[in-house]
Chains A and B, each alone.
Chain A
């Protein structure tokens, strides 16, 4: 509110965070610097939203651990926090719904300052609250947002942007809503094809003003897959994940050949749902 000329933004990152790495945390830093640097936005908060177990991704360990690791990783951040709403849903929740949930939460919480930060404490209560919420304001989300409420934008790496092209992974109406209603902040490597990808998609092109491409100038190839592989091989992951996360992984022996076998042969929840819906091909 300090600067009326600027739009306040909340950056929401959805993903497995299996485990969270320094690369995930860098995405937030790069995106905030970029958005603030445009002079039009002021990033007020970042949210990490680990996906629920029902996502059924190979090697996905329990959300309980993934949420705690993300909390440990953001302990020393003054502006990024973890929200477990998505991870507590019984069924896999589309990213568009997660965005909507957080936008509505901001709209509702603007006045009464709902303080529900340590999300792990009372999961039952929180879930109920969230369900009520989504019924009340179903229709509001497509209308222009009230001034003064920050805008939730989806923060992602180029891999997510490009996954929009994977058949049945995303519903095309969800993609349209994500870029049309909310907006995307996408961190890409220099020389990446993100621009071309947007150009070649009608819906992304239409909403290109709402897609912010942030250049990442130094190669940061830390992926959770590589972290898990190093752990299986007994190699150090030090300085690739925050120290507290490394300690937690070690203490609970979270990643092994066995954990990597979880959900093997199971179809990823979005593919299952979207294929069942025979929702025609959501080519972007």
Chain B
């Protein structure tokens, strides 16, 4: 029986806020990798971007992390990691990958002196791999001038590997063919088809919330409750939003007022 390569999937992004579509990326990527027969997905990591990314309307990292935690309450294989957003400054995705790859190797290797006693132990399992999980829109940004360094793109696809989930209006094959680096390492890029198109952009969520419209069933109930309780993304939210509830949005969310924030 051939042993499958253990894989951990890492998704980076704003998660402002996390939506069901982000969560779907993980599910379809895992199904796809399993169906290749080559991989065993052993975990998923969501790494919200640092506040210093300075993206417009970016809610504070502690809120974004708390929302991801709430969204993952029911998942037994995906977790949130705060290392990236706890850094003093924004950092390139490749550095986040390096960090988690290092952590992964360390967590799976036997304590102290990996060379000792390996001769008698069973055949070493395949080395675990960390792969960068993204939507096809991210693949497209590889072409945006000055957004990514070429050597970083190369390291991502050469050393780690990419799992890219298709989205409506994107042609990931063309993005690969249009880039010499991506084309060279295309064996390390897994294109996954999402069988169910469900375009929930966080931008749409924020604008719907600003207009007092329902976003129920687009993101987990517990996240919606958190957004309401902390008055995030309402029209007047930045600081002064105390007490001003969105009028008319009386949707009774069943979620708890304050949920435990400890990750499993």
Which of B24, B217, B218 is the most central at the interface, judged by chain A CB atoms within 10 Å of its CB?
A: B217
> Is B188 close to A, CB under 8 A?
no
A236 and B196 within 8 A (CB): no
A78 and B251 within 8 A (CB): yes
B20 and A76 within 8 A (CB): no
> Is B146 close to A, CB under 8 A?
no
Those of A196-228 within 8 Å (CB) of chain B = 217-223, 226-227
A218 and B217 within 8 A (CB): no
**Which residues of chain A are within 8 angstroms of B74 by Cβ–Cβ distance?**
243
**Which residues of chain B are within 8 angstroms of A219 by Cβ–Cβ distance?**
168, 197-199
A218 and B199 within 8 A (CB): yes
- Cβ-neighbour of A29 out of B31, B216, B221 (below 8 A): B216
Interface size class of A (residues with CB under 8 A): 20 to 34
Nearest-Cβ distance from residue B106 to partner chain A, whole angstroms:
29
> Is B204 close to A, CB under 8 A?
yes
Which of A78, A222, A234, A239 is the most central at the interface, judged by chain B CB atoms within 10 Å of its CB?
A: A239
> Is A240 close to B, CB under 8 A?
yes
> Within the assembled complex, what's the spacing in Å between the Cα atoms of A22 and B217?
6
Question: With A218-B199, A230-B196 known to touch, is A236 a contact of B254 (CB < 8 Å)?
Answer: no
> Is B92 close to A, CB under 8 A?
no
- Cβ-neighbour of B195 out of A25, A78, A229 (below 8 A): A229
Question: With A75-B254, A236-B31, A239-B27 known to touch, is A221 a contact of B197 (CB < 8 Å)?
Answer: yes
> Within the assembled complex, what's the spacing in Å between the Cα atoms of A226 and B24?
14
> Is A250 close to B, CB under 8 A?
no
Those of B6-43 within 8 Å (CB) of chain A = 20-21, 23-24, 27-28, 30-31
> Within the assembled complex, what's the spacing in Å between the Cα atoms of A18 and B253?
25
> Is B5 close to A, CB under 8 A?
no
Question: With A78-B251, A221-B196, A222-B196 known to touch, is A22 a contact of B20 (CB < 8 Å)?
Answer: yes
A26 and B254 within 8 A (CB): no
> Is B154 close to A, CB under 8 A?
no
> Within the assembled complex, what's the spacing in Å between the Cα atoms of A76 and B21?
20
B positions within 8 Å CB-CB of A = 20-21, 23-24, 27-28, 30-31, 74, 168, 195-201, 204, 213-218, 221, 248, 251-255
Nearest 7 A-B pairs (CB), nearest first?
A: A78-B252, A221-B197, A76-B254, A236-B27, A29-B214, A239-B20, A22-B217
